[in-house]
Structure 1
Amino acid sequence: MTHLSLKKAFVPLLLTSALLTVTACSTDPVVAPKVPTADATAPTTGIQYTAPFKDGKYDPPITLTTIAQISSSTTFKNGETMENNVHTKWAKDRLGIQLKYNWTAPQANKAFETRIRLALSANEEMPDIVALGNVGLLNDLIDSGKFMEVGKMWEQYASPTYKKAVNEDPTMWYPFMRKDGAYGIPIPEYSWNNDTVMYFREDWLQKLNLKAPTTLDELEKVMDAFVTQDPDGNGKADTYGIAMAFRDSLIQGQGSASWLFGAHGTMAEIWTEKPDGTLAYGSVQPGVKPALGKLKEYIEKGYIHKEAALQDETKAAALFTSGRAGIIAGPHWMTLFPLADLAKNVPGAKFKAYPVPKGPDGKQGRTGNLNFTGAVLINKNMKNPDAFFVYQNYLFENFAFPSKDSEFKYQFAEGYDYAIVDGKPTADTTKIPGGRVIPQKYTLTMEGARIPSSQMEAYVNLAKGNGPTNQFEVRSSLIADEVRLQAATVNLSMKDISYREKYTAPPTKTMKSRWDNLKQQEKDIFAKIIYGEAPLTEFDNFVKTWESSGGSTITGEVNEWYTSVKKK
């Protein structure tokens, strides 16, 4: 494949945060949003059910319509489907809620998002509940006028634990605020859950008598050895230093290069805070230039697969788990999926997590996730809007931090994500009849219910070797083997060097008219530099063009908003 065709394949890169992917927004966000401030310690009172409700469930059952995306980790067993499975049965039996899926679509190749956009453009009737992670698309849906203001319902209906989870970080509400209130309920995520660590083939390091690198220079020597010294012993020059995925983002997910930008004191694609307290767009900062130069060098030397521009994170992970690459960067949870496949594919292969390397000036950084993954929208024509809260409240009060008596005390469902073997729970897929699947992936918000601070706090304690101190830690211990805890410990050791998106409001006035063009310029020049079609000096011209083509104005608008919310 030629450089030109690779560059064209590289163009679809989402080189900006998902928070900024859509510019068609009717609301100027340069105001301090008034987020819902319900007291998380107060019991939920004054609930007015819209249908007969008795003993914790609707009787007779009511119907709640929705849609769903099917990701690579959404798997089924026992002949089940998204429309009919252990979760839908639970919702009907436990809560009297019959879930009806208007349609489902794969997450891959943005099929799900494309299907929503088609429905929006065709003015199709929307389902009762829409939950998704693309904040730009969520803002388009909000601005369609098809969904209701949810702040008042939140204050009335949300349970104490649900409120507590969201109140841990009130900025979750910012992307979904309008002048008259909140239009999306944030979906809380575990803190530091997707922050980057580096995984190395430990057996390759040992075979080549190498130590895990702590600096960029040391890393490059390791990558060179992984490429030139036949670490897999097959006598062929068919290995790569590191598995990377450029198709969707340079800094997000499995196979990201966030550590490389962090080593140069910046983070592309997102808005970050400068020492003076103002926000700046990472992709036009000086540190991006040498980082792009390094990516170009790594491709030329064969450290990175030349088709990285075509590879999403699934393909990058497959390059590592097939035994062809010696390093991959990504979240701590990759130890269980997909990196556990390495041992299946390559007998005797071992991997271990390490911190991201320091750059030439001792700088160190990585991308980090926000405390939410998206939001839930409620159709303004929904007949029983209280049903969503009945559903989600139950999960937060019983699944998010279970008691010893909870039906979710081990995982979601016995025989699916855990089994009882010799009187003890296990999440070992080989010990679960038919293998392990994860029913929480079927839930309306894709991950059940999460309290941001809970998961890493649990791992910290479990890593000490003192055993679980509560039922949530018991449940966590089922999937937190020694490898997972080691990766989590490395992850937490770097909690202060994560770069997180600081601009979480809808697009500004100038973003609406200029951002698409600025993104395209960014994608084009980054691709040309990395694939050797433009000299590195073109980055300087890009920065000047970016600033004169609306970037400076946008930066001012972003900081006007940031100043307003920091006063709150």
Structure 2
Amino acid sequence: MTFKNGEYLENNVHTRWAEERLGIRIRYNWTIPDFNDAYSNKLRIELAKGNMPDIVTARERDVIQDMIDSGQFMEVGPLFDQYASPVWKKAMQEDPSVWDPYQRDGKSYAIPILDFGYATDPLLWIRQDWLDKLKLPIPRTIGELSKVMEAFANEDPDGNGKKDTYGLTIAFRTTPSTWMGDSSWIFGAFGTVPRQWNKAENGGLAYGSVQPEAKEALRVMKMWVQKGYIPKESERFNETQAADLFVSGRAGIIAGPYWMFGWPLPGLTVHSPKAVVTPIRLPSGPSGQIGRRGTLPINGAILINKKMKHPEIFFAYQNYLFDHYATSTGEFAHGFAKDYDWTTVNGVLTKDAALIPGGFIRAATYTLTFDGARIPSKVIKEIPVEIASVLLSQADASRKERFTGPPTPTMKTKWELLLKLEQETFQQILFHDGSEGDFDAFVSKWKQYGGGQITKETNDWLSGK
């Protein structure tokens, strides 16, 4: 969060609005910068003390599950049915599976925080000016993409006379399937999406990272790393570091969501004023397949303390945001707050940050649910037409997580170990001297160390859903 006009967390345009419009005063028990999971760790400490506030919102799935399991929070299903506005209820009905992770024995103990559809579905952002300079067509297949990356890495597309550019930048510190610098689409070109449960041919659930198709994707990616198309440092890149390589003008392609046009891609012109970035469709694999990580329209959850005497107060707050901010009506027709995320100059509406007194502030981040209120299907109004046409032209390529339930019994004890085994194996194969045989050994260990039992449990959940 950033503030201006001397404002701070408990005294700002949002808290004043809540008190003046709704008669609700918002106070915080504590705050903490969220570096290295500090927020989740602090929540767990306070949870153990039983020191929870009336309302808790969190994004990280594991800590939400810990809070539910603590027994300190209300069943929220009946409250939602009684107090939620028709607009909020209709938005929630767009994908009822968003409730699944927070249920116990058919009862809901957290309210999903809705997000726009396709919020982190990746598309490819490519340097169109590099393609033009090297007289290359937009790549449509993995094979064509490989040729483009070779040229980007070896033919001096930035014209500085140095061999200091790469074809593709990825974030591979923790997972191949991530929100910026994503590489799930490479696996998708071979028929699987890693780090999630996908629909199997028999209609059941299959974990994407242990399928034979993942082995083929790793083989191709390893070749790209060895040839210098992907930097070896990608092993340690998080999402912003992967983006920094692109924004600094050293990489020609990055995969990420539609909203990258607003951040961080505009920073590229600081380094390369004549740079032109174009969103393109994901390339198909050898068998014509296309796939990418799909996005469930959810961005965390709201939990209500059993000690809260009047939970209807929170619903009055969130209902108003859904009824007006999510629908861009009334006082929120132009944005969240005048002179923060929009203003008028000589009677003309503008969202130009340079014209807003004191600069642009996304005041919606001050709200209790991170973004005010979002209706998943309203995403289209947020995307420029030329980007939406690319994204939605491959809507069928989105592969959403198919296991949306709470952690299974074996997941609670084995999942962290299996994720670590997976990540270390993939990194060893891609960036070190690992071989395809290491993938086969990983799959065997994955099944032996609990993956086989978890596969059974996830499919039992599916059959009983």
**1:156-193, Cα deviation, whole Å (9 max, x unpaired):** 11111011111111111110011262100011111122
1:382 offset after TM fit, Å? 1.6
Aligned to 1:551: 451
Give the fraction of aligned pairs with identical amino acids, expressed as a percent. Answer: 48
Alpha-carbon distance between aligned partners in 2 of 1:504 and 1:562, rounded to the nearest angstrom? 9
Alignment of 1:257-336 (within 5 A): 257-336=183-262
Deviation track 1:458-515 (CA, whole Å, cap 9, x = no partner) reads 3xxxxxxxxxxxxxxxxx5xxx5xxx32122111111111111011111112222322
Question: Is the contact made by 1:296 and 1:532 (CA closer than 8 Å) also made in structure 2?
Answer: no
Alignment partner for residue 366 of structure 2, among 410, 434, 442? 442
* 2:37 equivalent to 1:110: yes
The match for 1:216 is 142
Q: Distance in 1 between matches of 2:399 and 2:86?
A: 30
CA-to-aligned-CA distance 1:495-536 (integer Å, 9 cap, x gap)? 111111011111112222322222222122112111223212
Render the CA deviation track for 1:339-379: whole Å, top value 9, x for unaligned: 11112332111101001111111111111110211210011
Query: d(CA) in 2 for partners of 1:367 and 1:385?
Result: 36
Among 429, 440, 454, which residue is 1:529 paired with?
A: 429
Matches within 5 A, 1:95-494: 95-121=22-48, 123-179=49-105, 181-403=107-329, 406-456=330-380, 458=381, 476=382, 480=383, 484-494=384-394
Provide the TM-score with structure 2 as the length reference. Answer: 0.97
Partner of 1:22: none
Cα deviation code 1:177-233 (max 9, x no counterpart): 112621000111111222110000111111111111011111111111111111111
Distance 1:544 1:451 in 2: 42
Tell me, in whole angstroms, the C-alpha distance in 2 between the residues paired with 1:109 and 1:318. 19
Structure 1 residues 254 and 167, CA, compared in 2 at 3 Å: closer, same or farther?
same
SS in 2 for 1:362: coil
Q: Distance in 1 between matches of 2:302 and 2:411?
A: 24
Structure 2 unmatched runs, 5+: none
* Contact 1:136/1:506 (<8 A) preserved: no
The AA in structure 1 aligned to 2:110 is G
How far the C-alpha of 1:129 sits from its partner, in A, is 1.1
Instruction: Name whichever of 155-164 and 417-426 sits farther off.
Output: 417-426
Aligned partners of 2:85 and 2:323 also within 8 Å? yes
8 Å CA contact 2:175, 2:423 repeated in 1: no
8 Å CA contact 2:114–2:297 kept in 1: the answer is yes
Per-residue deviation, 1:105: 2.5
How many equivalent residue pairs? 465
SS in 2 for 1:224: helix
In the TM superposition, residue 76 of structure 1 has moved relative to its aligned partner by: 2.5
Matched, 1:507 2:407: yes
CA distance in 2, matches of 1:248, 1:486: 32
The superposition leaves residues 415-446 of structure 1 with CA deviations (integer Å, 9 ceiling, x where unpaired) of 11111123232222222222212111111111
> Which deviations, in whole Å up to 9, do the C-alpha atoms of 1:311-335 show, x marking residues without a partner?
2111111111111111110001110
Using the alignment, how far apart are the partners of 2:5 and 2:218 within structure 1? 48
The question of whether the paired residues in 1 share the 8 Å contact of 2:291 and 2:397 is answered with: yes
Report how far residue 309 of structure 1 moved: 2.3
Q: Which structure carries more helix by proportion?
A: 2
Distance in 2 separating the partners of 1:113 and 1:95:
30
Letter in 1 for 2:156: D
Note the alpha carbon deviations across 1:380-413, whole angstroms, 9 max, x for none: 112331111010000001111133xx00000000
Q: What's the offset of the Cα at 1:560?
A: 1.1
Report the Cα distance in structure 2 between the residues aligned to 1:247 and 1:534, rounded to whole angstroms: 17
Match of 2:2 in 1: 75
Mean alpha-carbon deviation: is it higher for 394-403 or for 540-549? Answer: 540-549
AA in 1 matched with 2:36: N
User: How far, CA to CA, are the matches of 1:426 and 1:275 in structure 2?
Assistant: 51
CA distance change for structure 1 residues 332 and 180 in 2, over 3 Å: closer, same or farther? Answer: closer
DSSP-derived class of the 1:326 partner: strand
Contact 2:174 2:423 in 1 (8 A): no
How far the C-alpha of 1:114 sits from its partner, in A, is 2.3
Q: Note the C-alpha offset of 1:295.
A: 2.4
Deviates more, 1:278-287 or 1:509-518: 509-518
1:539 aligns with 2:463: no
Given residue 397 of structure 1, which amino acid in structure 2 is its aligned partner?
D
> Does 1:496 find its partner at 2:420?
no
Q: Structure 1: where are the runs of 5+ without partners?
A: 1-73, 459-475
CA deviation profile, 1:90-136 (whole Å, cap 9, x unmatched):
11111111111222233343222222223234x15111111112122
2:254 alignment partner, SS class: strand
Change (3 A) 1:425 1:108: farther
Q: Which moved more, 1:524-533 or 1:330-339?
A: 524-533
Shift of 1:252: 1.4
Does the residue aligned with 1:236 lie in a helix, a strand or coil?
Answer: coil
TM-score by length of structure 1 reads 0.79
Paired letter, 1:156: Q
Inter-partner Cα distance in structure 2 for 1:255 and 1:434:
32
Letter in 2 for 1:545: K
- Asked whether the 8 Å contact 2:50–2:72 carries over to 1, the reply is no
Q: Which whole-Å CA distance do the structure 1 matches of 2:447 and 2:105 have between them?
A: 29
Provide the secondary structure at the position in 1 that maps to 2:273: coil
CA distance in 2, matches of 1:212, 1:87: 45
CA distance in 2 between counterparts of 1:241 and 1:84 reads 47
